[in-house]
Each structure stands twice: as C-alpha cells, then as structure tokens.
C-alpha cells in the first residue's frame, strides 16, 4: 500500500486594520514572522511538499511567498486555486486527489473554517486543541500520512495525524 503525505496550513495572521476588503487583506507583522517561521520548520522537519495549492487571497498569497522563501521552495511550483477562497472542504479534497496522481506530498493552504473542518474530517484520532479550544490557528500546519489505496482515498478518518504545529510552539 502506497503512503502519501498531505500537509494543510491556514494562512498566517492578517491585518484587520487596513480597511481592505476581505480578499485583499494583507498579513500583519506577526503573520509575516510566523509564515517565515513555518517555512523554516517545513525545511528542517523534512516535510517539503512536491506541490502547493493555495488560495490567491492576499494573506494566503503572502503566506505562501514567505513560506517558500524561508524553506527554499520554488514559488513557481505554486498553483493558485481561486476556489480555495470561497468553496468548501470537498473542493479541497477533490483538488488534492488530482495532484496526488503525480505527487507524493501535497500541501493545501487556505482559510478557516474549512481548514478546521478538513483537519477533523481526515484525522483518525482526536485532534489536540490550544488551551483556548482552537485547532487550525493562523499559520498552523497539520501533516497527515494517508494510505493511497484507491482513487477516492481521502475520506473521513483516512489520515494519521503526524504533526500539528503552531508558530508559538516552535523553538527559535
């Protein structure tokens, strides 16, 4: 049975004080720092994706660019998927399945509440939350190992959660 790795990430912290429309909202200073920190973690942990598919919303796009710069990933390998901004979890799953046809490690970068839903849907076990009861906090990364045993291999409980990493938890 072939195993593949799915990495999901919520965009880093955005700046709510810019007055921009939601799609155009940029990262805050903390978001810039955390996105780079998570890129460094990806590189040092050995979980570099073969393919990244991300929302083109400004805060997600900036997250991806900073993540790539810090991890050494080529920004040219990013697929900007407009539907990641507004469509639901099934869209993310269908997109991931498509890219697993030619990749072993796929990373999806998007928004809550869909990233929370995806985390719980795929996990074969209880998902640890923060002290405040949150799951996919900003810039959070979850790494799943999944058995690719059929064409529709991403289903409820199909993922073994290997890592759930938040920027605050990384030692600098």
pLDDT at 150: 67
Query: How far is the C-alpha of 92 from the C-alpha of 98, rounded, in Å?
Result: 10
Output the six-digit token pair for 169. Answer: 């938890």
Region label for 133, one of left (φ > 0), alpha (ψ between -120 and 50) or beta (otherwise): left
How far is C-alpha 75 from the chain's CA centre? 15
Model confidence pLDDT, tens digit, residues 5-46: 999 999 999 998 777 888 899 999 999 999 999 999 999 999
Model confidence pLDDT, tens digit, residues 128-139: 887 777 899 999
Model confidence pLDDT, tens digit, residues 82-100: 999 988 999 999 999 999 9
The residues pairing with 6 across neighbouring beta strands, listed in sequence order, are 106, 144
Predicted confidence band of residue 1 (pLDDT cuts 50, 70, 90):
confident
Q: Looking at the whole model, is its pTM more than 0.85?
A: yes
Phi/psi at 44 (5° precision): -75, -25
> Distances from the Cα of 131 to the Cαs of 32, 117, 160, in angstroms?
24, 19, 22
Domains of the chain and any CATH numbers: 2-101+112-169 (3.40.50.1240)
pLDDT at 153 over 90: no
pLDDT at 172: 55
Model confidence pLDDT, tens digit, residues 50-82: 999 999 999 999 999 999 999 999 988 899 999
Q: What is the mean pLDDT of residues 118-131?
A: 87
């Amino acid at each position: 049975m072939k195993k593949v790795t799915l990495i999901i990430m919520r965009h880093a912290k955005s700046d709510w004080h810019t007055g921009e429309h939601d799609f155009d909202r940029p990262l805050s200073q903390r978001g810039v720092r955390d996105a780079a920190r998570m890129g460094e973690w990806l590189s040092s942990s050995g979980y570099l994706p073969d393919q990244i598919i991300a929302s083109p919303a400004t805060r997600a796009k900036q997250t991806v660019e900073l993540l790539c710069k810090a991890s050494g990933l080529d920004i040219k390998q990013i697929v900007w998927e407009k539907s990641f901004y507004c469509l639901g979890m099934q869209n993310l799953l269908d997109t991931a399945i498509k890219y697993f046809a030619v990749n072993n490690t796929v990373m999806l970068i998007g928004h809550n509440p869909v990233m929370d839903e995806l985390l719980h849907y795929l996990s074969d076990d209880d998902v640890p939350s923060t002290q405040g009861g949150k799951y996919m906090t900003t810039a959070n990364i979850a790494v799943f190992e999944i058995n690719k045993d059929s064409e529709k291999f991403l289903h409820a409980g199909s993922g073994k959660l290997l890592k759930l990493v938040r920027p605050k938890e990384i030692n600098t």
